[in-house]
Amino acid sequence: MVKISANKNILSKNDEIALRLRKLFEEKKITVFNFVSSPGSGKTSILEKIVSPLKARFNVGVLIGDLQTDNDARRLRKCGADAFQINTGKGCHLDALGIEKALNNFQMDDLDILIIENVGNLVCPSGFDLGEDFKIVVISVTEGDDKPEKYPIMIRVSDVMIINKKDLLPYVNFNVEKCMHYAKNIKHNIQFFETSCVTGDGIDDIMHWISEKAQVKAE
Protein backbone atom coordinates (compact mmCIF):
# COMPACT_ATOMS: atom_id res chain seq x y z
CA MET A 1 0.00 0.00 0.00
CA VAL A 2 1.28 3.43 -0.94
CA LYS A 3 0.44 6.76 0.68
CA ILE A 4 0.13 9.69 -1.72
CA SER A 5 0.02 13.26 -0.51
CA ALA A 6 -2.79 15.35 -1.95
CA ASN A 7 -3.27 18.52 0.18
CA LYS A 8 -6.00 19.77 -2.10
CA ASN A 9 -8.65 22.16 -0.87
CA ILE A 10 -12.18 20.97 -1.51
CA LEU A 11 -14.37 23.66 -2.90
CA SER A 12 -17.95 22.75 -3.48
CA LYS A 13 -19.09 23.04 -7.08
CA ASN A 14 -21.05 26.07 -5.93
CA ASP A 15 -17.92 27.76 -4.59
CA GLU A 16 -16.15 27.26 -7.93
CA ILE A 17 -18.96 29.06 -9.75
CA ALA A 18 -19.20 31.72 -7.03
CA LEU A 19 -15.50 32.46 -7.51
CA ARG A 20 -16.14 32.92 -11.22
CA LEU A 21 -19.05 35.25 -10.46
CA ARG A 22 -16.99 37.26 -8.00
CA LYS A 23 -14.31 37.81 -10.64
CA LEU A 24 -16.97 38.86 -13.15
CA PHE A 25 -18.58 41.32 -10.72
CA GLU A 26 -15.13 42.74 -9.94
CA GLU A 27 -14.34 43.19 -13.61
CA LYS A 28 -17.69 44.85 -14.35
CA LYS A 29 -17.54 46.89 -11.11
CA ILE A 30 -20.91 45.61 -9.90
CA THR A 31 -21.57 45.68 -6.13
CA VAL A 32 -23.68 42.70 -5.11
CA PHE A 33 -25.92 42.45 -2.05
CA ASN A 34 -27.48 39.14 -0.93
CA PHE A 35 -30.57 39.62 1.27
CA VAL A 36 -31.43 36.63 3.46
CA SER A 37 -34.04 36.02 6.13
CA SER A 38 -36.79 33.71 7.33
CA PRO A 39 -39.91 33.78 5.13
CA GLY A 40 -41.97 36.90 5.86
CA SER A 41 -39.35 39.06 7.60
CA GLY A 42 -39.88 41.84 5.07
CA LYS A 43 -37.07 41.52 2.49
CA THR A 44 -39.31 42.40 -0.47
CA SER A 45 -40.95 45.28 1.41
CA ILE A 46 -37.55 46.77 2.25
CA LEU A 47 -36.46 46.44 -1.37
CA GLU A 48 -39.70 48.08 -2.53
CA LYS A 49 -38.67 51.12 -0.47
CA ILE A 50 -35.02 51.36 -1.47
CA VAL A 51 -34.84 50.38 -5.13
CA SER A 52 -36.46 53.54 -6.52
CA PRO A 53 -34.18 56.02 -4.67
CA LEU A 54 -31.15 53.86 -5.52
CA LYS A 55 -32.10 53.93 -9.20
CA ALA A 56 -31.78 57.72 -9.15
CA ARG A 57 -28.02 57.30 -8.76
CA PHE A 58 -27.20 53.78 -9.94
CA ASN A 59 -28.20 51.14 -12.46
CA VAL A 60 -29.85 48.53 -10.25
CA GLY A 61 -30.78 44.97 -11.10
CA VAL A 62 -32.71 42.64 -8.80
CA LEU A 63 -32.92 38.86 -8.75
CA ILE A 64 -35.49 37.22 -6.49
CA GLY A 65 -35.62 33.59 -5.43
CA ASP A 66 -38.83 31.78 -4.50
CA LEU A 67 -39.94 28.18 -4.90
CA GLN A 68 -42.98 29.27 -6.88
CA THR A 69 -44.66 32.37 -8.37
CA ASP A 70 -43.20 35.61 -9.60
CA ASN A 71 -45.20 37.66 -7.08
CA ASP A 72 -42.13 39.36 -5.63
CA ALA A 73 -40.59 40.23 -8.99
CA ARG A 74 -43.89 41.79 -10.04
CA ARG A 75 -44.08 43.81 -6.82
CA LEU A 76 -40.60 45.17 -7.40
CA ARG A 77 -41.19 45.93 -11.06
CA LYS A 78 -44.17 48.06 -9.99
CA CYS A 79 -41.62 50.17 -8.09
CA GLY A 80 -39.58 50.58 -11.25
CA ALA A 81 -37.01 47.88 -10.56
CA ASP A 82 -35.38 45.72 -13.24
CA ALA A 83 -36.42 42.66 -11.29
CA PHE A 84 -36.36 39.03 -12.41
CA GLN A 85 -37.65 35.97 -10.63
CA ILE A 86 -35.75 32.71 -10.18
CA ASN A 87 -38.09 29.84 -9.32
CA THR A 88 -36.24 27.07 -7.57
CA GLY A 89 -39.06 24.50 -7.62
CA LYS A 90 -38.00 22.44 -4.61
CA GLY A 91 -34.75 24.24 -3.94
CA CYS A 92 -34.54 25.96 -0.56
CA HIS A 93 -31.79 28.40 -1.50
CA LEU A 94 -30.40 30.22 -4.49
CA ASP A 95 -27.11 28.91 -5.81
CA ALA A 96 -24.31 30.40 -7.88
CA LEU A 97 -25.33 28.48 -10.98
CA GLY A 98 -28.86 29.91 -10.82
CA ILE A 99 -27.46 33.42 -10.46
CA GLU A 100 -25.03 32.91 -13.34
CA LYS A 101 -27.87 31.81 -15.64
CA ALA A 102 -30.12 34.70 -14.54
CA LEU A 103 -27.44 37.31 -15.35
CA ASN A 104 -28.49 36.94 -19.00
CA ASN A 105 -31.39 39.24 -18.10
CA PHE A 106 -29.04 42.19 -17.65
CA GLN A 107 -26.65 44.31 -19.66
CA MET A 108 -23.71 43.56 -17.39
CA ASP A 109 -21.63 46.46 -18.67
CA ASP A 110 -24.33 48.91 -17.56
CA LEU A 111 -25.09 47.40 -14.14
CA ASP A 112 -23.79 49.11 -10.97
CA ILE A 113 -25.70 47.25 -8.26
CA LEU A 114 -27.12 43.74 -8.19
CA ILE A 115 -29.50 42.99 -5.35
CA ILE A 116 -30.29 39.34 -4.74
CA GLU A 117 -33.31 38.50 -2.61
CA ASN A 118 -32.71 34.94 -1.50
CA VAL A 119 -35.33 32.29 -0.80
CA GLY A 120 -36.82 32.81 2.65
CA ASN A 121 -34.71 30.45 4.74
CA LEU A 122 -32.27 31.20 7.56
CA VAL A 123 -30.37 27.93 7.19
CA CYS A 124 -29.39 26.73 3.71
CA PRO A 125 -28.52 30.02 1.99
CA SER A 126 -25.64 30.42 4.48
CA GLY A 127 -23.79 27.61 2.74
CA PHE A 128 -24.16 28.92 -0.81
CA ASP A 129 -21.87 31.73 -1.84
CA LEU A 130 -23.43 33.70 -4.70
CA GLY A 131 -20.34 35.82 -5.37
CA GLU A 132 -21.82 38.67 -3.38
CA ASP A 133 -19.92 41.53 -1.73
CA PHE A 134 -22.24 41.82 1.24
CA LYS A 135 -24.74 39.56 2.93
CA ILE A 136 -27.60 41.32 4.71
CA VAL A 137 -29.71 39.30 7.15
CA VAL A 138 -33.17 40.61 7.98
CA ILE A 139 -34.85 39.68 11.27
CA SER A 140 -38.27 41.07 12.13
CA VAL A 141 -39.34 41.92 15.68
CA THR A 142 -42.05 39.26 15.61
CA GLU A 143 -39.44 36.49 15.41
CA GLY A 144 -38.01 36.63 18.93
CA ASP A 145 -34.87 38.49 20.01
CA ASP A 146 -32.91 35.23 20.42
CA LYS A 147 -33.07 34.53 16.69
CA PRO A 148 -29.31 35.16 16.19
CA GLU A 149 -28.52 32.62 18.92
CA LYS A 150 -30.68 30.01 17.25
CA TYR A 151 -29.29 30.60 13.74
CA PRO A 152 -25.62 31.41 14.38
CA ILE A 153 -24.30 30.13 11.04
CA MET A 154 -26.24 32.75 9.09
CA ILE A 155 -25.22 35.53 11.49
CA ARG A 156 -21.60 34.52 11.20
CA VAL A 157 -21.58 34.94 7.42
CA SER A 158 -23.55 38.21 7.41
CA ASP A 159 -22.14 41.72 7.26
CA VAL A 160 -25.29 43.58 8.22
CA MET A 161 -28.36 42.75 10.29
CA ILE A 162 -31.57 44.69 9.68
CA ILE A 163 -34.09 44.53 12.52
CA ASN A 164 -37.34 45.12 10.66
CA LYS A 165 -40.98 45.90 11.54
CA LYS A 166 -39.87 48.13 14.44
CA ASP A 167 -43.28 49.80 14.37
CA LEU A 168 -44.57 46.60 16.03
CA LEU A 169 -42.21 46.85 19.02
CA PRO A 170 -44.95 48.10 21.42
CA TYR A 171 -46.93 44.90 20.75
CA VAL A 172 -44.25 42.22 21.00
CA ASN A 173 -41.75 40.90 23.52
CA PHE A 174 -38.61 41.83 21.62
CA ASN A 175 -35.58 43.39 23.23
CA VAL A 176 -33.55 45.10 20.50
CA GLU A 177 -30.39 45.43 22.63
CA LYS A 178 -30.51 41.73 23.52
CA CYS A 179 -30.90 40.74 19.87
CA MET A 180 -27.92 42.90 18.88
CA HIS A 181 -25.90 41.46 21.77
CA TYR A 182 -26.55 37.89 20.62
CA ALA A 183 -25.55 38.82 17.08
CA LYS A 184 -22.34 40.58 18.19
CA ASN A 185 -21.35 37.47 20.18
CA ILE A 186 -21.26 35.56 16.93
CA LYS A 187 -20.01 38.27 14.54
CA HIS A 188 -18.38 41.02 16.55
CA ASN A 189 -18.26 43.58 13.74
CA ILE A 190 -21.74 43.04 12.29
CA GLN A 191 -23.51 46.32 11.52
CA PHE A 192 -27.08 47.02 12.56
CA PHE A 193 -30.01 48.89 11.08
CA GLU A 194 -33.53 49.15 12.50
CA THR A 195 -36.30 49.68 9.98
CA SER A 196 -40.02 49.94 9.47
CA CYS A 197 -41.51 49.81 5.99
CA VAL A 198 -44.76 51.17 7.43
CA THR A 199 -43.34 54.35 9.01
CA GLY A 200 -40.24 54.61 6.77
CA ASP A 201 -37.93 54.65 9.81
CA GLY A 202 -34.39 53.57 9.05
CA ILE A 203 -35.01 53.11 5.32
CA ASP A 204 -32.83 56.07 4.39
CA ASP A 205 -30.02 54.72 6.57
CA ILE A 206 -29.85 51.33 4.85
CA MET A 207 -30.19 52.98 1.46
CA HIS A 208 -27.26 55.30 2.19
CA TRP A 209 -25.16 52.39 3.42
CA ILE A 210 -25.83 50.51 0.17
CA SER A 211 -25.05 53.64 -1.87
CA GLU A 212 -21.74 54.14 -0.04
CA LYS A 213 -20.67 50.56 -0.67
CA ALA A 214 -21.67 50.74 -4.32
CA GLN A 215 -19.76 54.02 -4.69
CA VAL A 216 -16.55 52.36 -3.46
CA LYS A 217 -16.55 49.75 -6.20
CA ALA A 218 -17.60 52.20 -8.88
CA GLU A 219 -14.48 54.29 -8.27
Cα-atom radius of gyration of the chain, to the nearest Å? 18
Separation of alpha carbons 204 and 53, rounded Å: 9
Smallest gap from Cβ 36 to another protein, in A, equals 15
Kindly state whether residue 56 participates in binding another protein, applying the rule CB under 8 A: no
Kindly state whether residue 177 participates in binding another protein, applying the rule CB under 8 A: no
Kindly state whether residue 118 participates in binding another protein, applying the rule CB under 8 A: no
Nearer to another protein, 6 or 56 (CB): 6
Choice from 79, 172, 176, 186 touching another protein (CB under 8 A):
186
- Max Cα-Cα span within the chain: 70
Nearer to another protein, 166 or 187 (CB): 187
Q: Which stretch binds another protein (CB under 8 A): 37-45, 52-60, 100-108, 121-129?
A: 121-129
Q: Which has the closest alpha carbon to 115: 93, 83, 86?
A: 83
Burial of 77 (0-12, 13-18, 19+ CB in 10 A): middle
Nearer to another protein, 7 or 173 (CB): 7
- The sign of the CA dihedral 4, 20, 73, 56 is positive
* Residue numbers at the binding site for another protein (CB under 8 A): 1-14, 90, 124, 126-127, 152-153, 155-156, 184-186, 188
